[in-house]
Chain A
Amino acid sequence: MTDAVIATGAAHLDEHEHTGTGLANTKLGMWVFLASECLFFGGFISAYLLYRGRIVEGPTPREVYNIPFTSVTSFILLMSSLTMVLALAAIQRADDRRFRIWILATALFGLVFIGGQVYEFTEFYQEGLALSTNVFGSSFFVLTGLHGAHVTAGIVWLLSLWAMSTQQKLGAADAERVEVAGLYWHFVDVVWIVIFTVVYLIPT
């Protein structure tokens, strides 16, 4: 068997190979998954919107929201998309050192956002808003909590990439793995833009 046949045989299962859409399999798969996630968040966002005028008792959004504080953590989360792009650019240039700096910065910004969310949840709870206080509490905590869970999963993913890089197991040839993680990370940011606008900024 010649090498040429081996190459065509293996190539069909190789993610670097020519594909029908020109997009790598993992990237196309991630796009479909993210599209699917849109409807998942859509379900909870519609629940929140449906219930915003139906508070029977307990605190209302206006009474608990601290818009300046959440704006700052939101800004930090958005900046993490910038560092994510820089991390991808670094690994594509095979600049491992800068890749590790930027990917850690991205994870750190994500952690700051999650820390802000924990602080915010604690504050709201002390002001008398719990999951079972009213439909606002139910829909707010579940929606933003699930978003926070997505960010947390993203942080674990980023730190895993960082760990692989420190052990020399992630090189320029694996840039696509970083790109796919980046797609997920940007998606989580974009969802937050929607949540921040719809949930926090648009007045009841």
Chain B
Amino acid sequence: MTTVQETLPAPRTVGLLLRRPRATTGLWSWLTTVDHKKIGILYGGTALVFFVIAGVEGLLIRLQLAGPNGTVLTAAQYNTMFTMHGTTMVFLVGMPLAVAFGNYFIPLMIGARDVAFPRLNMFGYWVFLLGGLFLYSSFFLGGAPDGGWFGYTPLTSTPLNQGFLPGRGPDFWAVGLIMLGIGSVTSAINFIVTILNLRAPGMTLMRMPLFVWMMLVVAFLTAFAMPPVTAALLMIIFDRNFGTLFFNAAAGGDPLLYQHLFWLFGHPEVYILILPGMGIVSEILPVFSRKPLFGYAVVVFSGIAIGFLGWGVWAHHMFATGLGPVAVSAFGLATMLIAVPTGVKIFNWLGTVWGGSLRLQTPMLFALGFIAMFTLGGLSGVTHSIVPADTQQTDTYYVVAHFHYVLFGGLVFAIFGGLYYWWPKVFGRMLDERLGKLNFWLMLIGFNLTFFPMHILGLQGMPRRTYRYAEGMGWDDLNLLVTLGSFVIAASVATFLVNVALSTRRGAAAGPDPWDGRTLEWSTSSPPPEYNFAAIPRVGARDDFWHRKYTEDAQGRLVPLPAGGADAATATAGSPPGSGHAVGDGHGDGHGIHMPSPSYFPLVMALGLPILGYAAVFKNPWLAIPGLVVLLYGMYAWAIEPATAED
């Protein structure tokens, strides 16, 4: 190892225009950081801002539909709202929040000091932020996207001058999504390499925490699902701007090709969104039940099975397009099949909770809420595999109810559980339990008030994506209830924000291990030092940290181990902060550990993309030149600059 290092070339001193950033605090340190934990916080904070924006869009939709003949929004504004609500929630909230947790906790959970490509990590974040800003800049620059989050052709692909959609919305949407796809694929590659290559000694694949496993599956799904939609979006851009005929039926083009390519991405995307939630819940349940995860291997393999089967069900989004009986039956069967590994997981979670010594603190409440709500969403999902029923439900509020039970009742509940669970680790302070419980109950009640009646409305035939409905359809009361429920959800999110503000000011110090955790991230201080672990841990078992703290007596009862783990075992909620160092860690303060150095160039390179994006939207080749210059300068300076500064 050391001999290899000696043969490395001498330090390269190249004029890069920008000198290596040195700030370790303040704005510049955040702009140039390559620390996976800081990047994780950036992802999470940015995604939560977009979550509030998407929430406001959802509330506007609900205000419009609170009663018949709503007048809050015009039809065009309504189209914009549901398009941007969906696009934002999927690409700017769901995916980046999972990446936020992954960024922060994958290296900590596998005993690594950082991700495999720290600068690529930062590039991914900048592309996400700039892509989001690019999408939202459309509101001021010629029309926000209004063709739905799915952007079906030929609605979105017809050229501007003959278009059904006024304005440049589809261009902003297609270019913005390609950008966000680039960011997602880079972070997926980073996660895959990190998880496969950087595990601490002894951290075999089957000892990895479930969250890491699920993020590995998600990373593969992301890497393979984004390219088909990128191809489809490029075809839209070519059709709209360069006269190609991909989706022009009169010239032999086939709009259904778009739907196939989109849902070939879109269905794996559903699992990209939900599997991180399943991973988070699989971490929370064992800790708060004080039992190992029931059937670890089965949960891992059913996660992988979902990852594979997720590729064979996309056409169930297209049952109403006339695919023919054979295709429809095959996809219906595959859809039933994918419910099996999902159901297996639900039973494993129940088995984990069963007979445990439960502590019903806020993370656990959200995890249990996840199981219940996700099961309901899964059950309505199975009804979609019955093709005749699905044909009836297509484009009604029944579908809206279904996917909100999966994505809100599933993903968002898990995300909030994860936020309460890991907040003390990330910020060193506890969130308030009473406000947390209020947050949970408001969210559970508000969520069910909002989305349960939609099942009934849908079965009564209320169509989705329609900006108003007439009186006397029998939909008035339920719609009012739904709107009231949506404001209860808003109140619960506000409770969370209040909780965060209070915690920052006077939250109890967390200590390294407030929940008596099982995985490696709890073995280091809260927040962890920049280098995570002063000494790379050596892993001897699944839930290694737990086994350092506890053993079992002859009757199978837990017995705290006196040595090494004792200080962690007493570090429960509310106790003074720990020494700030890993349990059982004999090494010093991490002095001499070389971490990758901060860099400007991921930001510079990412800045080239929105410039190129505007060039594409406005068909302005002159704008492409500065875009390319910035992109290439960032790329070359990045390649030449050594990852770690010589000091």
Contact = CB atoms under 8 A, between A and B. Distances in A.
Nearest to B2: A7
Interface in A174-199: 174
B373 interface: no
Contact of B244 (A12, A33, A142): A142
Given A7-B5, A173-B9, A132 B243 contact: yes
Contacts of A6: 592-594
Interface stretch (A40-48, A85-93, A110-118): A40-48
B379 interface: no
Contact of A1 (B12, B114, B251, B588): B588
B242 A131 contact: yes
A36 B198 CA distance: 22
Interface string A1-42: 101011111111110111111010100110011011111101
A33 B243 CA distance: 30
Nearest to A132: B243
A176 B101 CA distance: 31
A201 interface: no
Interface residues of B, number: 64
B117 A25 contact: yes
A50 B192 CA distance: 33
B246 A135 contact: yes
Contacts of B559: none
Contacts of A13: 113-114, 118, 594-596, 643-644
Contacts of B1: 7, 11, 14, 16-18
Given A21-B196, A29-B116, A29-B189, A43 B227 contact: yes
A178 to B, nearest CB: 13
Interface stretch (B130-138, B229-237, B402-410, B474-482): B229-237
Chain A at the B interface: mostly helix, strand, loop or mixed?
A: helix
Nearest to B225: A39
A16 B6 CA distance: 12
Interface in B97-134: 112-114, 116-118
B564 interface: no
B502 interface: no
A12 B245 contact: no
Contacts of B112: 12
A1 B592 CA distance: 7
Interface residues of A, number: 57
A54 to B, nearest CB: 3
A28 B594 contact: no
A173 to B, nearest CB: 5
Contact of A9 (B231, B251, B594, B640): B594
A138 interface: yes
Contacts of B640: 169
Interface string B382-417: 000000000000000000000000000000000000
A40 B227 contact: yes
A54 B4 CA distance: 59
B11 to A, nearest CB: 11
B198 A20 contact: yes
A7 B595 CA distance: 12
Contact of B193 (A29, A44, A174): A29
Interface in A120-164: 130-132, 134-135, 137-139, 141-142, 146, 160
B361 to A, nearest CB: 35
A171 interface: yes
A131 B189 contact: no
A159 to B, nearest CB: 12
Contacts of A3: 2
Nearest to B226: A36
Contacts of A32: 188-189, 192-193, 223
Interface in A36-91: 36-40, 42-44, 46-47, 50-51, 54-56
Contacts of A17: 1
Contacts of B230: 40, 43
Interface of A: 1, 3, 5-14, 16-21, 23, 25, 28-29, 32-33, 35-40, 42-44, 46-47, 50-51, 54-56, 130-132, 134-135, 137-139, 141-142, 146, 160, 169, 171-174
24 contacts: A9-B113, A9-B590, A9-B592, A10-B594, A10-B644, A13-B113, A17-B1, A19-B196, A20-B196, A20-B198, A28-B196, A29-B117, A29-B189, A32-B192, A33-B223, A36-B227, A46-B257, A56-B251, A131-B242, A137-B244, A138-B253, A142-B238, A160-B636, A174-B9
Given A13-B113, A25-B198, A39-B228, 12 more contacts: A8-B536, A10-B593, A14-B5, A19-B198, A25-B193, A28-B193, A29-B117, A40-B227, A42-B228, A43-B231, A142-B235, A142-B238
Interface of B: 1-2, 4-5, 7-9, 12, 112-114, 116-118, 185, 188-190, 192-193, 196-199, 223-224, 226-228, 230-232, 234-235, 238, 242-246, 248, 250-254, 257, 261, 531, 536, 587-588, 590-596, 636, 639-640, 643-644
